[in-house]
Amino acid sequence: MSGKSRRLTGALFFALTSVVVAFQSSCGRGAGAMTDAAPHATATSSAMAYVPPPSSASVPEIQMRPLSFAPIAKSADPAVVLINVVGDKEEKSALSGRMRKHAIKGLGTGFIIEPDGLILTNYHVIKDASVVSVKLTDGRNFSANIIGRDERTDLAVLRITATDLPVIPLGDSEVIEVGDWVVAIGNPFGLDHTVSAGIVSAKGRTSEEVPILVGGYFDFIQTDASINPGNSGGPLLNMKGQVVGINTAIRGDGQGIGFAIPMNMIREVLPLLLRDGKITRSAIGLMPHDIREVPIDERLQNKWVDESGKPLTHGAVVNSVVRGGAADRAGVLASDVIVAFDGQAVKREVDLRWAASIRGVGKTVVLSLVRQGKSIDVKVTLTELPDPGKPVTPSAKPR
């Protein structure tokens, strides 16, 4: 036998031996198979990969990142517009201390929701504007009228005189989950029609976590899709190409942290803006905080418990009641816990504030309370929410 043949035979023997050893290592001990090569089995078992025990928990199939976001961008981009504003802003002079006006220019983003020229954007984009113009993807420019605005939700509605315009469908922001892919389209730093993608990083971010306006109503979607100045007012899209939020804010102390107003919140106030041009808010007349901020032992001590005696896990604790206000007249007391508003569960303090603000001045609602371990219902006739700058007087009712 030649040297070459001996080498081939040796290689073949080695390959066959490796197959046998591999078979024994994968099947011999794990499957309970018998083998006479006990020393070899012991040697190979020490190199076996760890196999976790079986679990009864089912893991849903994970959808991988799409190969391209291009179909979403192509479908939505024609309805995304560039908004230019010109106006005057009054500011106090650092030298004289006097108020003076100076000209401003700004830009932002909006998107068309009706083919006859109805556009959504942020309030802060057009806040100080005296002239608003809109540029479409086809290059056409239009003068826009502001037909509705609301500072507390940072929303504005514009209209241009045009027909048969492309629109973006509105989606359901409630069903998106943390970890879902989202796409943002806007005009960051004037770089028009910029597309960025990321995931939903968190939901339910409040004005305490994103302090851009005292007294604002925010339940932000947090995303790591790139958002920068100029993106404000642009759409945040789900993987169906539907708007699930309006890109609104960024964290100045962090990168890759942006916030969008959820579409379901916009749906609730949009009819009011279209009808009245503004939102006249209603109020209960109390100061609440989230019960989840209260330690468990304190909840038990205050008898903030459910029917089974377990500490409440949702609700809004009444810190104080405005003297002479709606809640005061209805008999609501400080230290009551509001667990439902007109049959709708109050999971967080922000849920109560929002529901009360849009129900309507003069409307009568039922508050479900827990007081000293007992469940009671009270009827409250809502009053008008005072201006944010107007002070309110809390009652001196004991806790």
SS (HEC) of 201-216: EEEEECCCCCCCCCCC
Task: Give residue 391's pLDDT.
Answer: 41
Task: Provide the pLDDT for residue 100.
Answer: 74
Establish whether 40 is a catalytic residue.
no
Identified catalytic residue from 124, 282, 290, 395: 124
Beta-carbon contacts of residue 235 (< 8 Å; ≥ 6 apart): 76, 80, 111, 168, 184, 185, 243, 245, 246, 247
Does 154 qualify as catalytic in the annotation?
Answer: yes
Domains recognised in the chain with CATH numbers: 181-263 (2.40.10.10), 282-384 (2.30.42.10)
What's the burial of 305, exposed, middle or buried (CB within 10 Å: 0-12/13-18/19+)?
middle
pLDDT at 54: 64
Mean pLDDT per 10-residue interval, the chain, length 399 residues:
45 38 37 39 52 58 70 95 89 71 85 97 93 95 96 95 95 94 93 93 81 74 90 95 93 77 94 94 93 92 91 94 94 95 91 92 95 94 77 35
pTM given for the model: 0.75
* d(C-alpha 31, C-alpha 320), whole Å: 68
Given the residues 196, 207, 226, 232, select the one marked as catalytic. Answer: 232
Question: Which of the following is catalytic: 25, 150, 154, 357?
Answer: 154
Number of alpha helices (DSSP H) and beta strands (DSSP E) in the chain: 8, 21
